[in-house]
């Protein structure tokens, strides 16, 4: 069985007879004066046809005990040959890596000189150690072995230095490798775009064309052996493009041959570590085995004994032998079988078998370090047997996408950001029996970007595990939804539209905000707000089953629309909605945040019915009114969160505060003698689109940078 890496540099699996395997490293610490050295010694097995040879690869960290820091990555002497002009003075056979040689281009010169095998070892060694969990575990093991340096090794800043340095090494070695691939594609007449070390759409498309023209099966894995074959038409020019020596050379400190690979018996075994792009493939295998109930454990990209046992058990169950199956075949079989079972069984298997760690948002952002950028426009092209795996990616939501049938989108170890120019510009929609599973990921959008939506309809299924974000991006919407939405150790935010009849579970959420849009009827509720909640269940009179456990609830925003009569009792900072539709007009006043109302009622009506809100011993945290379909809404002396107006409606806001506002579809809004809350927040927007108009008269805090106009929408200052 492959699942040992051939290279982490790009994306194609070669024959299983060729490749390099790095075993789990041993480690040691030594010091001299104020200097300290940490070294990791990887055993290496190279397979070429029927021949296996063994060697070693040593890489580590240099530090200063007095300063309490680690300042460089250094290879061990004898790991590979370094020519005289690239050597460090006094240390002829090791290289020194920090931000300085990278900025000066010295690292790129060195890396370009190295042979393919040395590159594989360097990148995979750094990539394996570029894992916060691995660094933590290694440091703890070193403390057990070398207690005299416990203070230094346990220092959080020292551990942070280690993670940063290995990340620097992994990222830059990958960048140079990608440049080599791009140069080769250019030389062969395939346009990969700029030679910039970034693996984007143009590079991938060019490589796919090269594979197609060479009758190679596209498996999205590029190894050194395949790369050499692709360069053959270039002859000597191809060797110049890649640089370095064709094979590894091994020298000691004096420049004499040392550590020459020894021939191994064909039956020699080595436990391999996997990471980088190969680790992403292993994570796909782990996910499928967990979801099919063959594996219990983490999705960590490490092809350990448990994974291998689970693979063997699975293949035995389908009457296949391990040695007869390639990586791509294994994934094909797994996804085909997984597609046969329903979302509920997959959910139960994941919850029963997956082990994960609840990581706080700030730490999660630091831990995740994806390199490959991916646009939501690329999602559909990644589907395989109904599965779209997005693993270790920087995902930008910059288009509308829809998934139906039984399509499953799996997002692991990724960072997601919004490309929306205005609120809700882009929607990722899940219909029918499709599903979204997000594990160990985070979302944060750049300044001046607005929220995108995950929208769920039909019987689609949602499972978030350790998915943290800022509550606003993504926003999540249940629309005509009859499925199951579950958030575990995740930020919980969702709008429940009145046509939905779904089940929502939020457990151990760091932040929670739910917006249920009530159907017609009379309701009385008492709601938690800005507090830790041990357990809260929705009333059986509501159309949704809402369960909250051990979560921090910011607010639950019941919306009062036409035909709804809502009484809120004994609730602090109730932040509700007031969506009014169709012909009619209404006026409300005095919805002031922070004030406790003993017994106060507000009411407006339209042709669809009357909307009434009563507060009993309760206070407001702000309201979010909206108007659609020719409704004329006037709001005075109130604190508003984010009004929205559309479909030829009108809204007048006087002597009030507001957070942001979006107006579209020929709607007209006038705001006077009011103020914008938190004007220094660059995400605040006053958005006018689709021939709508916003007129601002004596509105404090509004700057030109807050304004967004689209189409013929206009914001007018008076």
DSSP state, 190? Answer: -
Give the pLDDT score at 161: 82
Kind plus residue range of the DSSP H or E element containing 122 = helix 116-129
**Is a pLDDT exceeding 70 seen at residue 564?**
yes
Looking at the chain, the whole-number percentage of residues with pLDDT higher than 90 is 43
Q: What is the pLDDT of residues 372-419, one digit of tens each?
A: 788 999 887 788 889 999 998 889 999 999 999 999 999 999 999 998
Q: What is the pLDDT of residues 644-656, one digit of tens each?
A: 999 899 999 999 9
Query: Residue 113: which pLDDT band, with cuts at 50, 70 and 90?
Result: low
Closest CA to 428 of 413, 416, 441: 416
Q: What share of the chain is helix, strand, coil (3-state, %, to 5)?
A: 25, 35, 35
**Among 161-175, 259-273, 311-325, 573-587, which is the least confidently predicted range?**
259-273
Query: Residue 274: which pLDDT band, with cuts at 50, 70 and 90?
Result: very low
Q: Which residue has the higher pLDDT, 699 or 159?
A: 699
Query: Residue 93: which pLDDT band, with cuts at 50, 70 and 90?
Result: low
Query: Which CB contacts under 8 angstroms, 24+ apart, belong to 108-112?
Result: 108/172, 108/176, 110/82, 110/86, 111/172, 111/173, 111/176, 111/177, 112/176, 112/180, 112/243, 112/244
Query: Residue 637: which pLDDT band, with cuts at 50, 70 and 90?
Result: very high
- Give the angle subtended at the CA of 455 by the CAs of 383 and 538, to the nearest 5°: 130
Q: Which residue has the higher pLDDT, 145 or 248?
A: 145
**Among 204-213, 325-334, 483-492, 694-703, which is the least confidently predicted range?**
204-213
Q: What is the pLDDT of residues 164-216, one digit of tens each?
A: 888 877 777 667 667 777 777 777 777 788 877 777 778 777 777 777 766 66
Domain edges within the chain: 18-242, 276-353
Helix, strand or coil, per DSSP, at residue 219: coil
Looking at the chain, the whole-number percentage of residues with pLDDT higher than 70 is 78
Residue 87 has φ and ψ, to the nearest 5°, of -80, 155
Give the pLDDT score at 697: 96
Mean pLDDT over all residues of the chain? 80
Give the pLDDT score at 632: 97
Residue 413 has φ and ψ, to the nearest 5°, of 50, 45
Which whole number is the average pLDDT over 554-583?
A: 93
Strand partners, 536: 548
Q: What is the pLDDT of residues 219-235, one digit of tens each?
A: 555 555 556 556 655 55
- What is each CA distance from 667 to 342, 603, 617, 628, in whole angstroms? 44, 23, 36, 8
Q: In sequence order, which residues have a C-beta less than 8 Å from that of residue 132 and are 6 or more positions away?
A: 163, 366, 367
């Amino acid at each position: 069985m492959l699942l040992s890496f051939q290279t982490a540099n790009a994306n194609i699996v070669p024959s299983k007879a060729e490749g390099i395997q790095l075993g789990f490293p041993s480690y040691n610490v030594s010091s001299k004066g104020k200097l300290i050295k940490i070294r990791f010694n990887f055993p290496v097995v190279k397979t070429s046809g029927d021949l296996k040879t063994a060697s070693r690869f040593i890489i580590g960290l240099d530090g200063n005990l007095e300063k309490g820091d680690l300042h460089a990555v250094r290879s061990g002497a004898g790991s590979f040959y370094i020519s005289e002009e690239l050597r460090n003075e006094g240390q002829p056979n090791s290289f020194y890596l920090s931000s300085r040689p990278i900025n000066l281009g010295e690292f790129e010169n060195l890396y370009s000189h190295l042979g393919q095998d040395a590159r594989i070892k360097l990148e995979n060694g750094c990539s394996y150690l570029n894992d916060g969990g691995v660094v933590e575990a290694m440091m703890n093991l070193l403390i057990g072995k070398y207690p005299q340096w416990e203070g230094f090794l346990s220092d959080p800043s020292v551990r942070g230095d280690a993670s940063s340095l290995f990340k620097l090494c992994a990222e830059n070695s990958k960048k140079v490798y990608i440049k080599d691939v791009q140069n080769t594609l250019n030389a062969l007449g395939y346009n990969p775009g700029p030679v910039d070390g970034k693996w984007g759409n143009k590079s991938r498309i060019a490589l796919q064309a090269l594979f197609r023209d060479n009758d190679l099966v596209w498996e999205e894995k590029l190894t050194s052996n395949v790369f050499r074959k692709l360069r053959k038409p270039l002859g000597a020019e191809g060797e110049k493009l890649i640089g370095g020596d064709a094979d590894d050379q091994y020298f000691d400190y004096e420049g004499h041959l040392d550590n020459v690979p020894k021939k191994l018996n064909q039956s020699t075994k080595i436990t391999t570590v996997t990471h980088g792009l190969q680790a992403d493939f292993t994570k796909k295998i782990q996910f499928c085995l967990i979801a099919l109930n063959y594996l219990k454990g983490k999705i960590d990209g490490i092809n350990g004994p448990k994974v291998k046992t689970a693979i063997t058990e699975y293949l035995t169950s389908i009457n296949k032998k391990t040695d007869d199956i390639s990586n791509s075949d294994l994934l094909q079989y797994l996804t085909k079988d997984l597609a046969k079972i329903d979302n509920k069984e997959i959910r139960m298997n994941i919850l029963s078998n997956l082990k994960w760690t609840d990581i706080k948002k700030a730490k999660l952002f630091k831990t995740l370090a994806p390199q490959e950028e991916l646009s939501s426009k690329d999602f559909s092209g990644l589907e395989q047997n109904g599965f779209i795996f997005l693993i270790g990616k920087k995902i930008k939501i910059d288009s509308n996408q829809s998934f139906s049938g039984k399509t499953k989108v799996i997002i692991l170890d990724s960072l997601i950001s919004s490309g929306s120019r205005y609120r809700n510009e882009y929607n990722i929609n899940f219909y029918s029996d499709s599903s979204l599973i997000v594990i160990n990921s985070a979302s944060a959008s750049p300044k001046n970007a607005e929220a995108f939506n995950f929208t769920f309809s039909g019987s689609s299924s949602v499972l978030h595990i350790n998915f943290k974000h800022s509550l606003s991006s993504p926003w999540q919407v249940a629309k005509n939804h009859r499925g199951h939405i579950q958030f575990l150790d995740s930020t919980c935010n969702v709008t429940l539209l009145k046509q939905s009849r779904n089940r929502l579970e939020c457990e151990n959420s760091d932040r929670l905000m739910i917006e249920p849009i009530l159907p017609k009827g009379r309701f009385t509720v008492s709601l938690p707000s800005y507090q830790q909640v041990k357990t809260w269940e929705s009333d059986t009179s509501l159309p949704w089953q809402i369960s909250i456990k051990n979560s921090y609830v910011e607010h639950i925003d019941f919306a009062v629309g036409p035909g709804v009569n809502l009484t809120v009792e004994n609730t602090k900072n109730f932040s509700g909605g007031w969506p009014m539709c169709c012909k009619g007009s209404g006026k409300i006043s005095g919805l002031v945040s922070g004030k406790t109302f003993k017994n106060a009622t507000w009411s407006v009506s339209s042709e669809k019915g009357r909307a009434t809100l009563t507060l009993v011993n309760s206070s407001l945290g702000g309201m979010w009114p909206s108007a659609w379909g020719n409704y004329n809404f006037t709001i005075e002396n109130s604190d508003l969160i984010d009004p929205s107006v559309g479909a030829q409606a009108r809204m007048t806001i006087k002597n009030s505060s507001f957070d942001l506002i979006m107006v579209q579809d020929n709607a007209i809004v006038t705001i006077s003698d009011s103020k914008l809350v938190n004007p220094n927040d660059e995400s605040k927007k006053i958005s006018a689109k689709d021939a709508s108009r916003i007129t601002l008269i004596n509105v404090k805090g509004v700057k030109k940078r807050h304004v967004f106009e689209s189409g013929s929408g206009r914001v007018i200052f008076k």
